[in-house]
Amino acid sequence: MKIKVKIYSDKYTAYNIIIGNDIFNNLSGIITDNFRANKYFVIIDTNVFRSYSKIIRKQLSNKNFISELIILPSGEKEKNIKNVLDISNSLLSKGADRKSAIIAIGGGVVGDIAGFISSIYMRGIPIIHIPTSLIAQVDSSIGGKTAIDIPKGKNILGSFNQPNLVLTDINFLKSLDESEYRNGLSEVVKYGIISGTGLFNKLERNINSIKKRDTKFLANIISTCVKIKKGIVEKDEKENNLRRILNFGHTIGHAIESASVYKVPHGRAVASGMIIASRISAELFGLKQNDLNRIEELINKLGLDYGIPEFVRTNDILNAIKNDKKKSGKIITFIMLRKIGLPLITNKIPTGILKKEIDKLRNSNIIKANLSRS
C-alpha cells in the first residue's frame, strides 16, 4: 500500500509511505525505484544490524545501489551530540554530498538522530526512513520530528524535517520483543482514542489478532494509524494546534518517564497517562463512564502495562509536568476527551485533580500487586 503525505506549510513537501511485508528483502531495488541519490548512507543500530546483517550485506552489494554503512550503538543514550559529530565526520570522510541520501534503519532513536543529521548536514540532505519497531512505524517515522537529547533534557535539539520516503515492512514486527511491541501498541490505542471511532472499535473486536501479531491485520492497523497521522500533520506540520492531539496521554506520560529517570518504559508511561487523562476527562469534560470503561478495558485486554511504581514520587511527576518542554510560558497543554474519538485541547487542569488521579492509579496498582502476591 502507498500513502502520500503532502505538507504545504513553509515549503511544499510530499513523500510516499510504502507499507508491505516483503520490502526489506528487495530494499535496494525499491529504494532506487522510488528515490534516486548518487550514494546512499545507511545508518543502522547494532541490534537491528545483528539481526538482519545477511540481508543488509546482500542488499548493499547490489552494484546499482552505491552505499556505505554506519553502525550506531543501540539505546536512547546514543541520541547525543557526540554521535551527531561522529556520524557527520563519517559521512564526510565516506564522501556524502548534497546529492546523497541517508537511510535510517531502526527504531525511534536511529530515526531521530539520523533525521536530525539529515536536516543539518551540508544544510540538509534527503532521508529515507525504514522503521523497524511498531512505535516508529506508526509514529516517529512520519511527520518529520527529529531530535537529540542534551544532558539537561530529552529531545531539546531538533528540527522539523520531513523524510523523502518511508518504507514500512510489517515483517520486522515478528521478531520485535514483547515490551517494544507493547510500546507501539500504546500509540496504536492512542490513535484509536483520538480519531473517530472506527479504529477503536476494530481494536476492541480483534484483540487476538493483535496479540498474535497477525501480519494482515497489522498491515491494516498500521496503515490506518499512518493515515490518521498524515491527516493531522498535513494540516499542522509544526504543532501549532491540531498536531497537539497526538500528545494524548503524553504530557502525563512524559512526566512519569522523566520522574522515573527513564526507568518506566514509554509505552507503560503513555498507557498510564491515557488512563489518567481519560479519568480526568470523565470528571471535568463529560466523558461518559461507558467510554471510560471501554478505554480501560481495551488497555487491559491488550495486556498493556500501566501504573506508577512506588519509587516514582507524585511530586516529581507534578514538577515534571510543570517543566513540560511543550509549555508556553506557564501554560501547560493537556489533551482531554469529550468522548472516544473527540479530543479537546485545554490548559485548565487543576493540580489537585492531577495529584488525586496520579495517587489513585498508584494505589490501585499497589492493591493489584498485593493481590497477585497473596
Task: Decide: is 243 part of the binding site for ligand GLY (CB under 6 A).
Answer: yes
C-alpha cell at position 184? 507501539
Q: Which residue, 149 or 239, is less far from ligand GLY as judged by CB?
A: 239
| Binding piece for ligand GLY, criterion CB under 6 A, among 103-111, 197-205, 238-246, 325-333 | 238-246
C-alpha cell at position 287? 466523558
Task: Decide: is 246 part of the binding site for ligand GLY (CB under 6 A).
Answer: yes
Q: Contact letters (x/-) for ligand GLY, 123-162, by CB under 6 A?
A: ----------------x---x-x-----------------
C-alpha cell at position 26? 528487495
Contact 135, 68 (CB under 8 A): no
Minimum distance from residue 250 beta carbon to ligand GLY (Å) = 7
Backbone angles phi and psi of 152, in degrees to 5:
-90, -5
Q: Which residue, 139 or 149, is less far from ligand GLY as judged by CB?
A: 139
> Whose CB is nearest to ligand GLY?
246
| Binding piece for ligand GLY, criterion CB under 6 A, among 172-180, 239-247, 256-264, 282-290 | 239-247
Largest Cα separation within the chain, whole Å, is: 64
Q: Which residue, 143 or 267, is less far from ligand GLY as judged by CB?
A: 143
Q: Which of 68, 66, 5, 62 is nearest to 38 (CA)?
A: 66
Residue position matching grid coordinates 514538577: 319
Minimum distance from residue 142 beta carbon to ligand GLY (Å) = 7
Minimum distance from residue 371 beta carbon to ligand GLY (Å) = 35
Minimum distance from residue 246 beta carbon to ligand GLY (Å) = 4
Q: How far apart are CA 174 and CA 177, in angstroms?
A: 9
Task: Decide: is 335 part of the binding site for ligand GLY (CB under 6 A).
Answer: no
Contact 186, 210 (CB under 8 A): no
Q: Which of 177, 317, 143, 159 is nearest to 247 (CA)?
A: 143
Q: Which residue, 139 or 291, is less far from ligand GLY as judged by CB?
A: 139
Rg (CA), the chain: 21
Can you name the residues that pair with 158 across neighbouring β-strands? 147
Which residues here bind ligand GLY, judged by CB under 6 A? 139, 143, 145, 239, 243, 246
